[in-house]
Amino acid sequence: MKKVTTIAGDGVGKEVMEAGLTILESLDLNYDFIESKAGFECFQNCGTTIPEETIKNAKKSAATLFGAITSTPSEKSPIITLRKELDVFANLRPIKTFEGVNSLFNNIDFLIIRENTEGLYSQIESFEKEEENKKNSKITKTIAKRVITKNASTKICEFAYKTAIKNNRKKITCVHKENILKKTDGIFKESFYKVAEKYSAKHPDIKANDYYIDATAMYLITKPQEFDIIVTSNLYGDILSDEGAGLVGGLGLSPSANIGDKNGLFEPVHGSAPDIEGKGLANPIAMILSISMMLEFLKEDFYSKQINKAVENVLKSKKIATPDLGGNSKTSDVTMAIKKELESI
């Protein structure tokens, strides 16, 4: 039987994982779910935020499902470690409005494809030797290296084109800051247009354009319906995907997929939310939509689509919603409603 590693993590991570497993177990699927540890509690119990065993399990699994963790200031982030170890180079974050959800806009439906291995997430930082400035006072200087390679840039842009073709999306926007970062973002933009050129003959219907990151942060508000696929480097994708979540009703509805040549890692974009932990109020939908993305990755297209449909129906009915969406339902109410909907469609 194929294996799926599940890492609940901390806080509401556990609560939404429970919800997710309820949904998964209600489907006619053949997977072994292997529970593994990571996060703050794990650190307190075993001295590491992510044990070797968890990484091993994830590597051997067909996919990994991640809840959320509370960060430990002194330690490296387990989710960053996992992304690296699994070499999941593409981070996909759909931004989509749902009928029945109060949001500032309608008809938003785009996909952010974030390069997931380099940029400012290379985590090469240093303290420089203290220099003396003109006034003879010491200067404490820190440097972070932002690494951008032609390889990784080309790979993520190729991935964006393949995704566009597969999902029938018609426009890919490359986001960068080439006017300042002429070399690093220069190579990203150049790689993008080379890939675009390559695909243009066979897929002339897919448009390519590019914007600066600052302009994009504005356009997401002034013309969000214009976007279809955004492809961008690591930190820009991190920023834009949270902004995008804000556009469509918050992190309670934002799933994500981290995809590599071999592995897949799926997680709601939200964190462990200590403020609502233990109250059973977390919105399970980001997790359940992440499961839908996982099932698509596992080629279980039927259930992947069923889940999307069930979530849409529950949201549209407006009867059951957690507090982040203005309702007063519990995590378990929403989960049961989605489960019931899955049985009836």
Ligand X SMILES: CC(C)[C@H](C(=O)O)[C@@H](O)C(=O)O
What the block records as the tokens of 198 is 């390559």
**Diameter over CA atoms, the chain:** 75
Closest to 258 (Cα-Cα) out of 144, 115, 130: 115
Please tell me whether residue 187 binds a second copy under the rule CB under 8 A.
Answer: yes
Q: Taking the complex as a whole, how short is the minimal distance between the CB of residue 39 and ligand X, in angstroms?
A: 11
- Residue whose CB is less far from a second copy, 184 or 335: 184
Single residue of 77, 103, 313, 332 touching ligand X by CB under 6 A? 77
The amino acid at 328: N
CA geometry: angle 89, 93, 98, nearest 5 deg: 165
Site for ligand X in 166-195 (CB under 6 A): 179-180
Please tell me whether residue 192 binds a second copy under the rule CB under 8 A.
Answer: no
Q: What separation, in Å, do the N-terminal and C-terminal C-alpha atoms of the chain show?
A: 27
Scored b (16 or more CB within 10 A) or e, 37-66 reads bbbbbbbeeeebbbbeebbebbeebbbbbb
Please tell me whether residue 214 binds ligand X under the rule CB under 6 A.
Answer: yes
Q: How many CA atoms lie within 13 A of 86 on its CB side?
A: 33
- Residue whose CB is less far from a second copy, 286 or 310: 286
Q: Taking the complex as a whole, how short is the minimal distance between the CB of residue 249 and ligand X, in angstroms?
A: 17
Count of CB atoms within 10 A of residue 130's CB? 10
- Residue whose CB is less far from ligand X, 175 or 338: 175
Q: Which of ligand X, a second copy, none sits in contact with 141, Cβ below 5 to 8 A by type?
A: a second copy
Q: Taking the complex as a whole, how short is the minimal distance between the CB of residue 94 and a second copy, in angstroms?
A: 16
78 φ, ψ (degrees, to nearest 5): -60, -35
Please tell me whether residue 229 binds ligand X under the rule CB under 6 A.
Answer: no
Contact 320, 327 (CB under 8 A): yes
- Residue whose CB is less far from a second copy, 19 or 220: 220
- Residue whose CB is less far from a second copy, 126 or 209: 126
- Residue whose CB is less far from ligand X, 270 or 339: 270
**157 Cβ neighbours under 8 A, 6+ residues apart:** 174, 191, 192, 194, 195, 196, 231
Number of chain residues interacting with ligand X (CB under 6 A): 8
**110 Cβ neighbours under 8 A, 6+ residues apart:** 94, 95, 96, 224, 227, 228, 229, 230, 244
- Residue whose CB is less far from a second copy, 282 or 310: 282
Please tell me whether residue 56 binds a second copy under the rule CB under 8 A.
Answer: no
125-164 footprint of ligand X as x/- string (CB under 6 A): ----------------------------------------
262-291 footprint of ligand X as x/- string (CB under 6 A): -------x----------------------
SS3 annotation, 69-88: CCCCCCCCCHHHHHHHHCCC
Stretch that binds ligand X, among 76-84, 149-157, 195-203, 280-288 (CB under 6 A): 76-84
Single residue of 18, 118, 228, 238 touching ligand X by CB under 6 A? 238
Contact 33, 21 (CB under 8 A): yes
Contact 85, 156 (CB under 8 A): no
The amino acid at 155: K
Q: Which of ligand X, a second copy, none sits in contact with 79, Cβ below 5 to 8 A by type?
A: ligand X
Please tell me whether residue 262 binds a second copy under the rule CB under 8 A.
Answer: no
Q: Which residues here bind a second copy, judged by CB under 8 A?
A: 71, 77, 80, 104, 120-121, 123, 125-127, 133, 137, 139-151, 177, 179-184, 186-187, 213-215, 217-222, 235, 238-243, 245-247, 250-251
Q: Which residues here bind ligand X, judged by CB under 6 A?
A: 77, 79-80, 179-180, 214, 238, 269
